[in-house]
Amino acid sequence: MLRTVETSRAKKTKGIAVTYRAGNGEKFGTCPPSCSLNDSGKGASEIDWQYFDALLDAVPRKGVSFTYSHFHWVDWFRKLKRDKTVINYSADNLPDAINAACYVPTVTVVNEAQWQGNKCFRVERDDIPEENRAVVRCPAEYRDISCAQCGDGEPFCARLNRKFIIGFTAHGPNKRKAADKRRKAVVMPRKVTAAYGGRIPQKVNKAKPTAKN
């Protein structure tokens, strides 16, 4: 099932066009069974490449387009290019996220307590110290803005070459899963440490696309 909304009224995506896609008779039908947030035991065993390629080209004129995927980034990262839809890898946890962020735009679910009252924190791997990353909280969680106003018209999730991970605070059923330390990443570095404080990144790319309203 494919549903398109020309102008979203949802709080976080208000004012922009959005697309929803689900499997035939199964809401997890387009999600891989390996996704830790998919408890259905069902899902897609492989990427729908015809739809994926069409999605990459679905960029509005003078605008930007972005989406998210739980399929492992090694399967699709070579397809990412400038002026195409930005595919964000949805990591299961921080170790998974910092590994992926070395290669692709990455988002992850963060437990509320992890923020410690801050809007961002840094994580680093002891095996690759230079590959530390800031985890930046989605601005819509603490400001009265939508994706259209995020990043001064350059939405964080639409930045292909950003050097930070976007964190979405877990809520509902995902809140328990985000706090469950038994859930492991696909690729787990030996150790991940976090440091708090610092400024939230604003401009990271030379190009300044305008979000479609």
Q: Which of 200, 118, 87 is nearest to 152 (CA)?
A: 200
Residue 213 belongs to some domain of the structure:
no
For residue 205, is it within any domain? no
Query: Cα(81)–Cα(53) distance, rounded to whole angstroms?
Result: 12
CB atoms within 10 A of CB 67: 18
Assess if residue 212 is contained within a domain: no
Q: How many H-runs (helices) and E-runs (strands) does the chain carry?
A: 4, 9
Q: Is 206 domain-assigned? A: no
The larger pLDDT score, comparing residue 23 to residue 177, is at: 23
Q: Lowest-confidence range among 34-43, 79-88, 111-120?
A: 34-43
pLDDT value for 164: 95
pTM of the full structure? 0.79
Give dist(CA 2, CA 20) in Å, integer. 6
Structural domain including 43 reads: 2-196
172 vs 45, higher pLDDT: 45
Residue 105 lies in a domain: yes
Asked, for residue 184, whether it belongs to a domain, the answer is: yes
Question: 175 phi and psi, to 5 degrees?
Answer: -65, -45
How high is the pLDDT of residue 175? 55
**What pLDDT, on a 0 to 100 scale, did the predictor assign at position 37?**
73
- Dihedral-angle region of residue 185 (phi above 0 means left; psi in -120 to 50 means alpha; beta otherwise): beta
User: Is 202 inside any structural domain?
Assistant: no
pLDDT tens, residue by residue, 65-92: 999 999 999 999 999 999 999 999 999 8
CB distance 112 to 175 below 8 Å: yes
For residue 20, what pLDDT is reported? 81
Q: Within a domain: residue 87?
A: yes
pLDDT in tens, 119-138: 999 987 767 666 688 999 99
pLDDT digits (tens, 9 = 90+) for 166-212: 999 987 655 555 545 444 333 333 344 444 444 444 443 333 333 44
* Structural domain count, the chain: 1
pLDDT at position 6: 87
Question: Which letter, b or e, does each residue of 3-37 get, where b requires 16 or more Cβ atoms within 10 Å of its Cβ?
Answer: eeeeebeeebbbebbbeeeeeeeeebebbbeebbb
